[in-house]
């Protein structure tokens, strides 16, 4: 009887991580950044209907980079989790922290137990209101969870963009237009090409809105905002 090949656990994890990283790096980047009224999410996305950024709950948004089918499943599970919790308890009991923890558990379990890890990196952000701070969680393919401040970047050449934004030394949030231009400039610099409003997906979590705070900015909205 032939013996199965022995692969050390370290080697196996390393291979899986490499595989996942490769898949995620192929995609394009998504930036979440604080602005004066909340959180702005900007993604480079040529498709007008297959979204990477989406609403989860009143003040929580989701962004996914990597394989569409995989983060789409995570997105749907997140919406079910949030709606169930909001229905069972109350709307204010739905938090990004519990959602991010759930995601971390799920993605981590799949990474260690399944043959193929998820080729995704996701962001869960929550806009704070009534004096509460914003929350941003970045969850990697292996389920590790990072609590980000001021801005977070996932997918593509995320490290490069992160370094670019860090250089700017952002101290306090500026208005929506300035923040959006900054995001577009960073994306353009990494891609070394101009990005038209059609190839962008832009959304905000605006704390000045009542109830559902997520708003998707159409191409026309983005264009007119940048032209101001």
Q: Return residues touching other proteins (CB under 8 A).
A: 49, 51, 54-56, 70, 73-74, 76-77, 79-81, 83-84, 86-88, 102, 105-106, 109-110, 212
Nearer to other proteins, 85 or 153 (CB): 85
How many other CB atoms are there within 10 angstroms of residue 20's CB atom?
A: 23
**Least spacing, CB of residue 125 vs other proteins, in Å:** 16
Q: Are 33 and 184 spatial neighbours (Cβ–Cβ below 8 Å)?
A: no
Distance between CA atoms of residues 180 and 217, nearest Å: 11
Compute the least distance from the CB of residue 83 to other proteins, in Å: 5
Residue 115 or 192: the one with the smaller Cβ distance to other proteins is 115
Helix axes 96-113, 9-26, angle to 10 degrees: 120
Q: Which is nearer to other proteins, 19 or 87 (CB)?
A: 87
Count of H helices and E strands in the chain? 6, 10
Q: By three-state DSSP, how is residue 5 classified?
A: coil
What is the nearest approach in angstroms of other proteins to the Cβ of residue 118?
8
By C-beta, is 24 or 110 nearer to other proteins?
110
Minimum CB separation from other proteins for residue 76, in Å?
6
Closest separation between CB of residue 106 and other proteins, Å? 4
d(CA 132, CA 135): 9
User: Is the Cβ of residue 67 or residue 207 nearer to other proteins in the bound state?
Assistant: 67
With vertex at residue 33, the alpha carbon angle to CA 32 and CA 36, rounded to the nearest 5 degrees, is 140
Task: Find where tokens 């940048």 sit.
Answer: 226
Structure tokens at 114: 């399944």
Kindly tell me which of 76 and 177 has the beta carbon lying closer to other proteins: 76
Distance between CA atoms of residues 39 and 203, nearest Å: 9
Smallest distance, other proteins to C-beta of residue 220, A: 18
Select 73 or 223, whichever has its Cβ closest to other proteins: 73
What Cα–Cα distance (Å) separates residue 14 from each residue in 8, 10, 162, 180? Answer: 10, 6, 24, 37
| Min CB(80)–other proteins separation in Å | 6
Q: Parallel, antiparallel, or unpaired: how do β-strands 30-35 and 151-154 relate?
A: antiparallel
């Amino acid at each position: 009887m032939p013996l199965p090949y022995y692969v050390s656990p370290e080697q196996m994890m390393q291979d899986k991580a490499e595989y996942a990283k490769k898949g995620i790096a192929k995609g394009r980047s998504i930036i979440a950044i604080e602005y004066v009224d909340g959180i702005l999410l900007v993604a480079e996305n040529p498709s007008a209907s297959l979204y990477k950024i989406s609403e989860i709950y009143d003040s929580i948004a989701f962004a996914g980079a990597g394989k569409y089918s995989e983060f789409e499943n995570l997105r749907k599970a997140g919406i079910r989790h949030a709606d169930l919790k909001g229905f069972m308890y109350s709307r204010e009991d739905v938090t990004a922290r519990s959602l991010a923890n759930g995601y971390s558990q799920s993605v981590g379990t799949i990474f260690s137990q399944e043959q193929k890890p998820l080729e995704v990196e996701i962001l869960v952000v929550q806009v704070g209101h009534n004096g509460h701070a914003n929350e941003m969680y970045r969850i990697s393919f292996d389920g590790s969870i990072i609590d980000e401040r001021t801005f977070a970047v996932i997918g593509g050449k995320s490290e490069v963009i992160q370094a670019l934004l860090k250089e700017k030394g952002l101290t306090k949030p500026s208005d929506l237009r300035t923040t959006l231009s900054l995001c577009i400039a960073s994306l353009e610099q990494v891609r070394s090409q101009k990005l038209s409003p059609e190839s962008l997906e832009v959304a905000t979590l605006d704390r000045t809105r009542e109830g559902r705070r997520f708003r998707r900015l159409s191409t026309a909205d983005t264009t007119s905002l940048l032209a101001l």
